[in-house]
Structures are given as C-alpha cells and as structure tokens.
Structure 1
Amino acid sequence: MKKWLIYTFAIAILAVLALQLFMFSTIQQQKNSDEKYFNMAKQEYKIFVPYIPDSLELFGENVPVDHVLVRERLENEIVRNMYWHSHTILLLKRSARYFPVIEPILSENGIPDDFKYLAMAESELTNAVSPVGASGVWQFMKSTAQEYGLEVRTDVDERYHLEKSTNAACRYLKASKQQFGSWTLAAAAYNMGGGALKRDVDAQKTNDYYSLLLNQETARYVYRIVALKLICEQPFQYGFFIRNKDLYQPIPVKKVSVSSSISSLVDFAAEYNLSFLELKNVNPWLRSDKLVVNTGKTYEINIPLSFSHTKLTENIADPYTIFKDSIVVE
C-alpha cells in the first residue's frame, strides 16, 4: 500500500513538473516578435571597421576610393555616422517619411537621386535653422530662397515647404552644375557658395573636388554625403538593425485650396477636427496663427487624414523584415 502511494505521489510530481515545463515552453514560444527583435539586437551588437566598396559613385560620378586621402576621409565620415547612433537611427527613420516626397521631384527636374542625401546632410531632414539663418530641410538663406522663387514673409516661409523648397534646390543645383561642370562641385557650391568655390578652383587650377584644398566644412561635406548614402542604402551592413515597421511612415493628407485670408488658423484647424499642432506639423511653412492671402494668390494647405500609428503601419509591406535587407524577425 505504501509503495502504491509513493508511486502515485511520484507520478503526480512528474505530471506537475511536465505541465510547468510545457507552460514555460508555450510562454517562450509566445514571446512576441518585438522581444525577439530586441534580444537579437543585443546579441548582434559589435564595434567594427566600416566597409568601403572598391568602386563607388556619387551623383553618377566616380569617387576615387583607391586614393588613400580620399579613402581615409571617407572612412572618417562613415565612422562618425555609424557610431553616432542617436543621430543616424533617426535619419534612417525619417528617410522613409521624407524621401518619397523628395525623390520624384529630383527625378522630374533631372537631378541625380543621390542629392536626397545632400538634404539629409544639410538638415537631418528636419526644419532646422542654422546660426546664420539658413532654414528648412534644404537650408536656404532668405535672400537665396527669394532669388529661386520661394516666398518668405512673416506668416509664410516656403523654405519650410518641402515640395517647393526641393524644386528651388533643383534650380540652384542645375545652375551650379552648368557653372562648374560636375554635380560633385555643384554639391560643394551648395555648401560654400559658388563665388568662394570658383576662387578656389581658379587658384588651384583643378575642377576635381577630391583634389581641392577647401575650408574644413566643405572639405568634409561631400564625404559626409557619400557616407550617408552608403549607410542609408545598406544600413544592416553598417550596424543598423531596424525593421520596416520601425520607420516613420508618411502622414497621409488631402490638399485644401485657400484663396482668401484666414484670420485664425486655430479655428481653421478645428473645422477639420485638428489641433493647431497637428495642422502646423504638416504645414510648417505656415509661420504664424493666421494666413494673409493677397489678391490672386492661392495656397494649398495639407489636411492630415490620420495620426494613428496603428493605421499608418498596418499596410507596411514586410513589417518585420530588416530595412534594406532580407532578414525577417518575427
């Protein structure tokens, strides 16, 4: 009898242990993809020397990476951006929201697609204001903006209008390309100004950017653009383990034409069930709480259709695939 009780008790203990093991296994299997992703990210993090291709182009023009000075300067910019994690991960996330606006405008104007990385280098794809007053994603000074057709006044500043400022940047870059003969020098002129660049080109008797001795900022400028191109096109190669679902998605909008003044943009926003903050987020070119519309002038105001993270991400293709790679984490 005692043996039977002991046997029964042992079986009961084994059954409980088996049940606990099964439950633990089930819980482990049910860990969501986010936990798996974060665990993998921790395990895979390494510090390593950046990859530099044997041949490389920017704006469709050769980057002479076999030259030791060029290679080391490029490596300097890649390392700085690879390991400035907070900066670069935000650039990658923003690129998904703003590049779809910039890319078709560059294409329509016959500007190489790589110039989207110039915008990234200029402003980090934000409506930044520099210490000298350059503003917007493309960092136009007020006088240059007006020269290239942008409206800049108290309540309207089209340097903050992504579509219009991108078109203005295209006109500037075309003029610089015509002056200097290469897109690479056009990019350098965007940074230091055409007059200053021409003086250096004439004095040093070369129109090869990679052979010019330039001021420190412009000497790094094109290399920074190349580095951003490499990292954005192969983020996983440079240590950025980001899923498609983690990128900032474009905010869907409808456009409303306005041909008369708006005395209160706060009230205008409320008519569309929006806060003033939400209206200004998708219309950063509106610089005050009202809009004065001169006779014969019409503006298009973006009305956001959704700020729901769930809605913005529900139709992402391959949400658990690593950005610009084929690895799936789910």
Structure 2
Amino acid sequence: RQNVKSYYDLLLNSETARYVFRIVALKLILENPSIYGYNLNSTEKYSKQEFTSISIDSGISDFSRFSISQNINYKILKIANPWLRQKYLKNKNRKTYTLKILNSEYKVFTNYDTISTRIFKPKLINAFDSSVVNKKSDSLLKENILNTDIIKKEDNIETPIK
C-alpha cells in the first residue's frame, strides 16, 4: 500500500514500530537459545506429541461427538487442530481435510508442587472508615477489612503532598 521495500521507509505508528524489533529479537532467541544464555534440559522442554492423521472427505455435524468417538475430548481436538473454527464441518464439495488426533493421553503441564494447599483469606481494602461496617447483617465482616491507615503505617507511606 505504501509502495516501499524497506521497513525504515514505512509509516507506522510508534507502538507497531517498537514491536517489529521485539519480534525479530524473539525469533533470533528461539532459533539459537543457547547463544543467548537459555540452556534448557530435556526435562524442562515440552515433550513432542505424537499424532495420527485422519483424512475426512465428508461433513461432521458435531465435533464434540466426533472427538468422543476418537477417545479424546473436544478441547484436545481443538488444540491439535486450531484451524477448526466452528463446532461442525460442512463439506458439500467433498474436499479432503486432515484432522490430527493425539496418540497418547494429553497432559496439562502444571507443576502441582508450587500450588499452595493452605487456605487463603484475602483482606478487603477499604478506602473509607471501617467503623461503618459493624452490623451483623452486613455481608462484609469487620475483621476482613483492612483500613488504608494500617497499610500506610505498615508500608511507611507518608501522606501525599497536595
């Protein structure tokens, strides 16, 4: 549209122009991570997923039912085939499509050792006087409200200059 062959001659807004260099830097790091100090053990990398390809030359009325017939769920089918945009496939022209089906059980990569098992009771921060919440019928209990004066005192925050 701008009829130029150089990036430097393009008229781009400043935000877009900054992202181009970041994308190029990311591409270089991903191509050769060890050069830039990213040394991953094989245990730290994602394992390669093995797929079976299924050729389909007819329509599929419901991908969730189709995925169950393939012993997977709809979510896994969509992850393996991101080009699927709808819950069905109309194929009037009998075109051949290839769907990927995972061979092994799909695993969610979550480190369960880092998830805290203790019960967390969040404190509500109230910018107003907490003495107004004192009725038993109030849904906010007084002990769950943390007054802003306490926060300022604990964090040594001075009163802002006006």
State the identity %: 42
Cα 1:259/1:237, change in 2 over 3 Å: closer
Match of 2:92 in 1: 294
Choose from 242, 259, 281 the match for 2:79: 281
Measured after TM superposition, the shift of residue 214 of structure 1 is 3.9
Specify which structure has the higher proportion of strand.
Answer: 2
Q: Which runs of 5+ in 2 are unaligned?
A: 108-162
Deviations 1:60-89 (Å, cap 9, x if unpaired)?
Answer: xxxxxxxxxxxxxxxxxxxxxxxxxxxxxx
Deviations 1:70-114 (Å, cap 9, x if unpaired)?
Answer: xxxxxxxxxxxxxxxxxxxxxxxxxxxxxxxxxxxxxxxxxxxxx
Q: Tell me if structure 1 keeps the 8 A contact 2:58–2:94.
A: no
Correspondence 1:1-330 to 2 at 5 A: 195=1, 197-198=2-3, 201=4, 207-210=5-8, 214-307=12-105
State the one-letter code of the partner of 1:293: N
Residue 18 of structure 2: SS of its match in structure 1?
A: helix
Measured after TM superposition, the shift of residue 304 of structure 1 is 1.2
Match of 2:137 in 1: none
Q: Tell me if structure 2 keeps the 8 A contact 1:258–1:300.
A: yes
CA–CA separation in structure 2 for the residues paired with 1:213 and 1:296: 45
Q: Which runs of 5+ in 1 are unaligned?
A: 1-194, 202-206, 310-330
CA–CA separation in structure 1 for the residues paired with 2:57 and 2:7: 46
CA–CA separation in structure 1 for the residues paired with 2:86 and 2:106: 26
Deviations 1:1-60 (Å, cap 9, x if unpaired)?
Answer: xxxxxxxxxxxxxxxxxxxxxxxxxxxxxxxxxxxxxxxxxxxxxxxxxxxxxxxxxxxx
CA–CA separation in structure 2 for the residues paired with 1:213 and 1:263: 46
Q: Tell me if structure 2 keeps the 8 A contact 1:251–1:307.
A: no
Cα 1:222/1:269, change in 2 over 3 Å: same
TM-score of the superposed pair, with normalisation by structure 1: 0.28
